[in-house]
Amino acid sequence: MALVFFPLISLLLLLLVRTDAQTVGNLTVGASLSADENSHPWISPSGDYAFGFHQLSSDKSLFLLAIWYNKIPDRTLVWYANGDSPAPKGSKLQLTADREFVLSNPQGEQLWNSEVSNGAVDSGVMDDNGSFKLLGSGSVLWESFKYPADTVLPSQTLDEGLFLSSRQSETNFSKGRFRLVLRSDDSLVLATVNLPSDHVNDPYHKSGTAGDSNSSSPASQLVFNESGYLFVLRENEERDLLTQRTTGSAKNVYYRATLGFDGVFTLYSHPKTFTGNNARWTALWSEPDNICTSTPINAGSGACGLNNICSITAEKRPSCGCPSGYTLVDPMNRYGNCKPNFTQSCDQEPAPVEDLYDFEVLINVDWPLADYALLEPFTEDQCRQSCLNDCMCAVAIFRLGDKCWKKKLPLSNGRFDPTLNGGKALIKVRKGGRPPLAPYFPNQELKNKDKNQEPLILIISTSRSEPVVETNLRSFTYKELVDATDEFREELGRGAFGIVYRGTLPMSYISQVAVKRLNTLVHGHAEKEFKTEVNVIGQTHHKNLVRLLGFCDEGENRLLVYEYLSNGTLASFLFGGLRPSWIQRTQIAFGIARGLLYLHEECSTQIIHCDIKPQNILLDEYYNARISDFDMESSSEERAILTDWAYDCYLEETLDLLVENDVDAQHDLAKVERFVQVAIWCIQEDLSLRPTMREVTQMLEGVVQVPAPPCPCPYASTA
Ligand SMILES: *[C@@H]1O[C@H](CO)[C@@H](O)[C@H](O)[C@H]1NC(C)=O
Ligand SMILES: *[C@@H]1O[C@H](CO)[C@@H](O)[C@H](O)[C@H]1NC(C)=O
Ligand SMILES: *[C@@H]1O[C@H](CO)[C@@H](O)[C@H](O)[C@H]1NC(C)=O
Ligand SMILES: *[C@@H]1O[C@H](CO)[C@@H](O)[C@H](O)[C@H]1NC(C)=O
Ligand SMILES: *[C@@H]1O[C@H](CO)[C@@H](O)[C@H](O)[C@H]1NC(C)=O
Ligand SMILES: *[C@@H]1O[C@H](CO)[C@@H](O)[C@H](O)[C@H]1NC(C)=O
Ligand SMILES: CC(=O)N[C@H]1CO[C@H](CO)[C@@H](O)[C@@H]1O
């Protein structure tokens, strides 16, 4: 059986580290650019920005006309023209005889037009500030800065009425639900839009300006200046400063301010000169501080989808999770709507309601706008009874000692909010049907998973029907883990499914542990499935896997106890202060491959880990790679260009470029080539061509020859 392991490629390639080179060019009348993977973008004179076709990672036959950073390996788009209507392969961007700048599909139909109304275009130029300009008779007729997508750049201004639109998701550039708009009366506001219309709802956030400032002068512009400051300029020239911190002039640092697909507006910086160590975007500032608890919007769903619950992460990003008894409508979009996993009817039921329904309780959770009745003074018990016997009631909120709010579907603006002071959300669920343990999606075919979606699946066990097998896992009481973690004091990381804390077990063979506390919001899983999963993982033993030592399963509290590894994640090692040597990087790659081989073929229950990435690989004190399932957050756009580039280097026999700054690797080019070849085999579109993990380890280690791989492109003929 050919096993699928897409993500290892990005790891292998990340381990190779890199730099880039491109040509500088101008556009003149008659020139055209065609949408395919080999089209050469137009580069700004400094080489900082590129204008051209970006291939969608979710559908390689579609392209966006876009601007991106040319020198940063992670393809970060700062502008795109046709997010809502991506161009099929073979589309052409042309300066027509009428001197119009037009994007048309292979059938000749227009997909996008710059719509210059005030003259004929002579030429186009990608400038060093990141704006693409169309010039005619010496003046600027059109510029991308005036038609922003989701990002503003230094030296760009947003006039009143102009707005940024979020995208649908990290990899889907269609217009999303969020907008940032400059309004003369309110200054800068963030609001949701009722798609597919353009109707803008009341703001969920107003930038800290009009309210606080004494100025009554209308706001006229959002300015992003070259020192990296964002401010609202008022008509009387007063500035309402949004950002307080920068990391230097835009001459030395790339800045961008992007309205994320999750509705958070963030200022990022990235060094212009970088090695593998500091090559990343750092968030300097973002707004709002907590989108989950921002003003409830009386139309639309709030930060997460309908019936969903928003909780804020340490990075101030929303994390969404369906309540117990509810599941995602689109399992790949956890920011989307949730649906009850049962139907509630007002018709005659087959049994008394007490036998049919029960309540799941969530603390400090509320859906502020879905009330249809307030009952007071009421006890909690009366509140439960009332909701139970009311076929309209989906949720009751019991709060403030004697108040009971009954709520109907769909629930909007769901939020986890500690200021609710222990208020209880009583969620009515039908007995018997509960969704499975949130992090695990049993029996889901790996190949059905879009590799570019947010990583959701951590571990899938492919044979689950087995009875519970005893392992030597320790069962902890909740109290023991509260003590071990000193009341969950030191956080090691957090992800969608829970937070990992550092802990110490007294009187134990392994004293340092990492305790993962599964999120109460998402762990609406059945007892038996939790036990089965724990058992399956508990039976794995391999030096390249993080060991599960025990668990706690006490009512609401579900925790997993792992051994603690002192050297952090591979991500922090690769991109952190100490750059790993070539030897270390190869050893880490071997270790990951061996760990996966064990999971796929050697342990008693076959396990497929669907989220291999540097954040999920921990390092022990000897820098051995250990695969874990700690779901730290991350994104996955970088793959496409890294793989394309690596494949080009392989074809053109310029593999030395991949490891340009690494003398050791340069002296070991045979191994570099072997790694790249293996990686290319692993990302074949045709799954049947991909090697098994056993073959992968043998090829990586040089035990067997690596045959020349065919192109990993979508429609390659199979060599
Ligand atoms: C691009 O255009 C600019 C200004 O028109 C000119 O100075 C430069 O030489 C041109 N570069 C190329 C490569 O044609
Ligand atoms: C870039 O922006 C600065 C500041 O607005 C401006 O002075 C400069 O002319 C711009 N450069 C180009 C190439 O437009
Ligand atoms: C992006 O999302 C929209 C809305 O869900 C969908 O209609 C569109 O097909 C998606 N685009 C791509 C390229 O997947
Ligand atoms: C507004 O003006 C009053 C009176 O001049 C002053 O006391 C107050 O601090 C000002 N508020 C702000 C936010 O500047
Ligand atoms: C950008 O704005 C900040 C805040 O007003 C100011 O201190 C700085 O001098 C400005 N930089 C430039 C290049 O105008
Ligand atoms: C929903 O509940 C039913 C039983 O009521 C169960 O068979 C089914 O697996 C559940 N589905 C999900 C996705 O939780
Ligand atoms: C990056 C990191 O934490 N490195 C440590 C890994 O472990 C060795 C041995 O304990 C330390 O010396 C390193 O500092």
Nearest to 302 by CA among 316, 318, 325: 318
Q: Is residue 614 part of a domain?
A: yes
Q: What CATH number does the domain containing 522 carry? A: 3.30.200.20
Using CA positions, which residue lies closest to atom 10 of ligand 7?
621
The DSSP string of 261-276 is TTS-EEEEEEESS--T
In angstroms, the CA 369 to CA 189 distance is: 21
Give the DSSP H/E element, type plus range, for residue 530.
Answer: helix 527-538
- The helix (H) or strand (E) run that includes residue 559 is strand 557-563
Name residues contacting ligand 1 (CB within 6 A). Answer: 24-26
- Classify residue 169: in a domain, yes or no: no
Count of domains in the chain? 3
Q: Report the candidate in 320, 282, 227, 274 with the shortest Cα–Cα distance to residue 71.
A: 274
- State the sign of the Cα–Cα–Cα–Cα dihedral 413, 268, 68, 229: positive
Residues in the chain, how many?
Answer: 719
Verify that 388 and 500 share a domain, yes or no: no
Does any domain span residue 200?
A: no
Q: Which two tokens stand for residue 563?
A: 């051994």
**516 annotated ligand-binding residue:** yes
- Note whether 495 and 529 are same-domain residues: yes
Regarding the beta carbon of 59 and ligand 3, being less than 6 Å apart is answered yes
Structure-token pair, residue 83: 């997010």
Residues 332 and 373 placed together within one structural domain of the fold: yes
Report how far residue 395's alpha carbon sits from residue 338's, in angstroms, rounded to the nearest whole number.
Answer: 14
Q: Quick one: which atom of ligand 1 is closest to the CA of 123?
A: 5
**Under 8 Å between Cβ of 20 and 101:** no
**pLDDT tens digits, one per residue of 501-547:** 999 887 666 678 999 888 765 545 556 667 777 777 777 888 888 88
Nearest ligand 7 atom, CA 568? 3
Ligand 3 centroid to Cα of residue 69, in Å, is 24
Q: Is residue 209 part of a domain?
A: no
The residue annotated as part of the active site, out of 150, 240, 417, 611, is 611
Query: Would you say residue 690 lies in a domain?
Result: yes
Q: Which residues line ligand 2 (CB under 6 A)?
A: 127-129, 155, 226
One-letter amino acid for residue 105 of the chain: N
Using the atom order of ligand 7, give the atom closest to the CA of residue 567: 3
pLDDT of residue 703: 82
Neighbours of 213 (CB within 10 A): 17
The tens digit of pLDDT for each residue in 31-80 reads 678 899 888 888 898 999 999 999 999 899 999 999 999 999 889 999 99
User: What are φ and ψ of residue 651, in 5° steps?
Assistant: -65, -40
Q: Which domain does 584 fall in, by range?
A: 1-16+579-719
Closest ligand (CA of 173): 3
What proportion of the chain, given as a percentage, has pLDDT over 90?
33
Beta strand pairing call for 318-321 and 309-312 = antiparallel
Structure pTM?
0.61
Active site residue 648: no
Q: Which residue has better confidence, 557 or 609?
A: 557
Q: Which ligand is nearest to the CA of 167?
A: 3
Q: Is residue 598 part of a domain?
A: yes
Kindly report the backbone phi and psi dihedral angles of residue 559, in degrees, each rounded to the nearest multiple of 5, phi listed first: -135, 155
Q: Letter for the amino acid at 40?
A: H
Instruction: Report the separation in Å between the CA atom of 349 and the middle of ligand 6, taken as the mean of its atom positions.
Output: 19
Query: With b meaning 16 or more CB within 10 Å and e meaning fewer, what string describes 96-117?
Result: eeeebbbbbbeeeeebbebeee
Work out which ligand 2 atom sits closest to the CA atom of 131: 14
Residues 593 and 559 in one domain: no
- Please indicate whether residue 431, judged by its CB atom, sits closer than 6 Å to ligand 6: no
Please tell me the distance between residue 426's alpha carbon and the centre of ligand 3 in angstroms.
35
Report, in angstroms and rounded to the nearest whole number, the Rg of the chain calculated over CA atoms.
27
Return the pLDDT at 526.
56
Given a contact cutoff of 8 angstroms between Cβ atoms, the answer to whether 475 and 481 are in contact is no
Residue 71 burial (CB count, 10 A): 20
648 and 555, same structural domain?
no
Mean pLDDT of 566-579: 78
> Does 340 sit in the ligand 6 pocket, CB within 6 Å?
no
pLDDT of residue 418: 84
Ligand found nearest the CA of 45: 1
